[in-house]
Amino acid sequence: MIAQTKSPFKANSQFAQEIDSFLAQYGAVFAQEAKRTSAFFELAAYNDIVKFYETADYTVSPENLKGTGGKQFVYALSPSAKPENCSYFLAKKVYKSGKTYSFEIRHNVRIQSFHDEEIFVSPDYAVIEKGSIVSIKKVDFYNGKVDYFFVAADKVKTFAETKHYAPGPELVLNFVGLVNELMPKLMANNFPTKPPMHFGPSLFVSGIGNPHLQKIRDSLGKRYTINVFLGLFAFPSQVYSASNQVNIKKIGSSWK
């Protein structure tokens, strides 16, 4: 059970300072503006995902930096942001055999439904195979005059959503619908096991929730190999802390 001794609130200025400090480790800078606390929380959770991969012994590096000197890390603040205009982190795993696996940690990228090629959703974060973003012309998207960027569901290794609220049962349970749309095999607790490993699809919630929510979190994790992180304002390190990795549901990169 998560203790409720820490404040579930954080000043935007503190978020901005933490984001600046995080990017500075990689020689990058934060130059965008965000006014809502929920927006800052979304950016901070993206950074926590990067830290998760560092904890899992991946090498991470910022890619597609912008601005003068090529140092500005540009977060995708909207699902309509063009991937070519946004920065991302590359997570690389190198084994002694010489085999290398590379994944892009993306923010606000469209993903094609596993069930229907005409349906697209944009989870807040997606970990995808390197170079798997494609574009098409869609007549229902600006009359086919603008490229429509997306990732096929089978190129997605995992994904996550953030919610800045005091969580309730219905809102947490709704996350299962997104899992069914993108990675339906998890609904039967059928997940890839071959390394390298990723966190299972996850919901990041700022609020702590009550004991009932914690029971729901534990039940969903057992049924579908997904994670519900509660109280991330108060306890952000639970995503990437080395000591908490044993409690995080994980899935592999492939079945073979």
pLDDT tens-digit readout, 35-89: 788 888 999 999 999 999 999 999 999 999 999 889 999 999 998 899 999 999 9
171 lies in a domain?
yes
Residue 163: beta bridge partners? 205
The SS3 call for residue 92 is strand
1 lies in a domain?
no
Residue 5: pLDDT band by 50, 70, 90 thresholds?
very low
Residue 6: pLDDT band by 50, 70, 90 thresholds?
very low
Domain tally, the chain: 1
Q: Crossing angle, helix 211-224 and helix 175-182, to 10 degrees?
A: 10
Tell whether the model's pLDDT for residue 7 goes beyond 60. Answer: no
41 lies in a domain?
yes
pLDDT for residue 1: 40
Tell whether the model's pLDDT for residue 106 goes beyond 90. Answer: yes
Q: Say how many C-beta atoms besides its own lie within 10 A of residue 243's C-beta.
A: 9
30 is in which domain, residue-wise? Answer: 12-251
pLDDT for residue 9: 55
Given a contact cutoff of 8 angstroms between Cβ atoms, the answer to whether 50 and 60 are in contact is yes
Least confident of 71-75, 138-142, 174-178, 224-228: 138-142
Q: Which of 197, 196, 251 is nearest to 226 (CA)?
A: 251
Tens-place pLDDT, residues 192-233: 999 999 999 999 999 888 999 999 999 999 999 999 999 998
Which helix (H) or strand (E) covers residue 102, if one does? strand 100-107
pLDDT for residue 256: 74
6 lies in a domain?
no
86 lies in a domain?
yes
Q: What is the DSSP letter of 20?
A: H
Q: Is the bond preceding 196 in cis, omega lying within 30 degrees of 0?
A: yes
Structure tokens of 127? 């970990």
Question: What's the pTM?
Answer: 0.92
256 lies in a domain?
no
The SS3 call for residue 175 is helix
Question: How far from 185 is each of 115, 173, 189, 234, CA to CA, in Å?
Answer: 11, 17, 7, 33
Residue 10: pLDDT band by 50, 70, 90 thresholds?
low
30 lies in a domain?
yes
- CA–CA separation, 56 vs 205, rounded Å? 22
64 lies in a domain?
yes
Residue 113: pLDDT band by 50, 70, 90 thresholds?
very high
